[in-house]
Structure 1
Amino acid sequence: MHDGLHILVIEDNPALRAGMATLLEARGHRVAFAADGLSGLQMALDEPPDVLVLDLTLPGMDGLRVCSHLREQADRHIPILMLTARDTLADKLVGFQAGAGDYLVKPFAGEELLARCLALAHRHERREGYVLRIGSLDIDRRSGSATRRGQVLGLPQTAYRLLVLLAEAWPRTVTRSELIRRLWGDEAPPSDPLRSHLYLLRQVLDKPFDRPMLKTVHDVGFKLEADA
């Protein structure tokens, strides 16, 4: 596993957020924060974290609803550590059913928070691995490289990120608007920002081979198809 995790914390208590930032950043982790469920959900969808620390009681959208929406909308699994002030079996079962991977009752020791985040990330890594494999295509997210039929694909950064997004969503079709949002957020270039990157991806991924993998789904978006 890489040295530092990307951890998203959705917690409305400023003092608790500050304490978690001090602890997690001191251990080399990259931490992002949201103070309400709706903005936290959007952050998790825009840039899926390695671990999501999620308070059960939040303004606007509570933790259970955030969990449920993530399971429906995210195009990959996100490990979730649920925080709650209520230490009851019923609350824990509801959290697990909504998609939480672990539960931590407030107040908690910082070292326990850290240990549980690391354990969730390790479990996820064992399950998901770094390598995405679709037919003859292998993408190693740790090294940032991709091969097809053993041939290294020399992709520019944005074309590589586009390939990873499509591979993580496989076999689902990803809409043009979703790809633009995931690649550029609110700062998308003018005109048609995807056109040139899709062209480059096709030139490298498909042109040297007899069977194309990148497919255009008319009026919907784009998807990868396995070639074997």
Structure 2
Amino acid sequence: MRSFLLEDDPEHAAHFKASLAATEFQVRHFWTAGSFFEALAESTPQLIVLDWMLPDLSGYQVLRRVRERFGLAVPIVMLTSVDNEERVVAAFEAGADDFLTKPVARPVLRARLQALARRVNQAPAAFSGSVSFGPYRLDYARQSVRDVDEPDARFALTPREFDLIWLLMNNPDRFIPRAELIAGVWGKSSEVAPHTLAQNVHALRKKLGLARRDIRLAAVYGSGYRLESPGSSR
């Protein structure tokens, strides 16, 4: 899997590359955002790993630029030495697929990236076509959401948010346990913080305006969620 690593710390870069030796990941390392974007203009990787702190641009700024150029097509993992909730939320809202705090143990790093690779490789089979729910129309190939009642509305969902609402809208009015949602969106081997799913659910309610469409994305006994059809009496 062709992978771009943007990391300016020699020790962390060496650790990252050594962790992925003899795996399916072929890592091309860049020290600066400038050299990274030069390479990106010539070749599109299958995975991008970005450090948060860089000498010329922040990893957050690089993440935003990559998403503007490629949309949701390329999975992106953020690396940081500072683990705080605001930074995690900012990364996911900007389009990150995963967030790792350095130093990352080699087995954990391999497992997280391999889980992400499996999710990406399986996406065309597990997630394909389109789905309709209430006024919403989702197209997986285009990663797009439309509201037929408001054709000019635009919904800026992160990759995780899109996969989550896709899974929910394909299972209307069914209680889905947290473990099933996490496995379906993040992968069975992923280590997902307890608040991460709740944050994504909250973002979906707000971004899609579900309440004003008489659609409930309800928490069930704190153990899962159910997307209820418009007008449901549940």
- Please say if 1:24 is aligned against 2:59: no
Gaps of 5+ in 2: 130-140, 143-234
SS in 2 for 1:26: coil
Bigger Rg over Cα: 1
Task: State the match for 1:119 in structure 2.
Answer: 115
- Please say if 1:58 is aligned against 2:54: yes
> Is the Cα contact below 8 Å between 1:6 and 1:31 reproduced in 2?
yes
Compared CA separation, residues 13 and 115, structure 1 to 2 (3 A) = same
> Is the Cα contact below 8 Å between 2:19 and 2:109 reproduced in 1?
no
Aligned ranges 1:205-216 → 2 under 5 Å: none
Compared CA separation, residues 98 and 42, structure 1 to 2 (3 A) = farther
**Percent of pairs identical after alignment?**
31
Measured in 1, the distance between the counterparts of 2:71 and 2:94 equals 16
Q: 1:132-162: CA deviations, max 9, x gaps?
A: 99xxxxxxxxxxxxxxxxxxxxxxxxxxxxx
> Is the Cα contact below 8 Å between 2:3 and 2:49 reproduced in 1?
yes
The two structures have a TM-score, normalised by structure 2, of 0.50
> Is the Cα contact below 8 Å between 1:45 and 1:70 reproduced in 2?
no
Measured in 2, the distance between the counterparts of 1:15 and 1:88 equals 22
SS in 1 for 2:3: strand
Aligned residues, how many? 129
Task: State the match for 1:77 in structure 2.
Answer: 73
Displacement of 1:19 = 2.0
> Is the Cα contact below 8 Å between 2:45 and 2:74 reproduced in 1?
yes
Measured in 1, the distance between the counterparts of 2:98 and 2:72 equals 18
What amino acid sits opposite 1:115 in the alignment? Answer: A
RMSD: 2.4
Measured in 2, the distance between the counterparts of 1:18 and 1:58 equals 16
Compared CA separation, residues 62 and 128, structure 1 to 2 (3 A) = farther
Gaps of 5+ in 1: 134-167, 170-228
Task: State the match for 1:108 in structure 2.
Answer: 104
SS in 1 for 2:20: helix
Measured in 2, the distance between the counterparts of 1:28 and 1:66 equals 25
> Is the Cα contact below 8 Å between 1:79 and 1:100 reproduced in 2?
yes
Task: State the match for 1:7 in structure 2.
Answer: 3
Compared CA separation, residues 45 and 121, structure 1 to 2 (3 A) = farther
Displacement of 1:81 = 0.9
Compared CA separation, residues 93 and 76, structure 1 to 2 (3 A) = closer
Compared CA separation, residues 33 and 99, structure 1 to 2 (3 A) = same
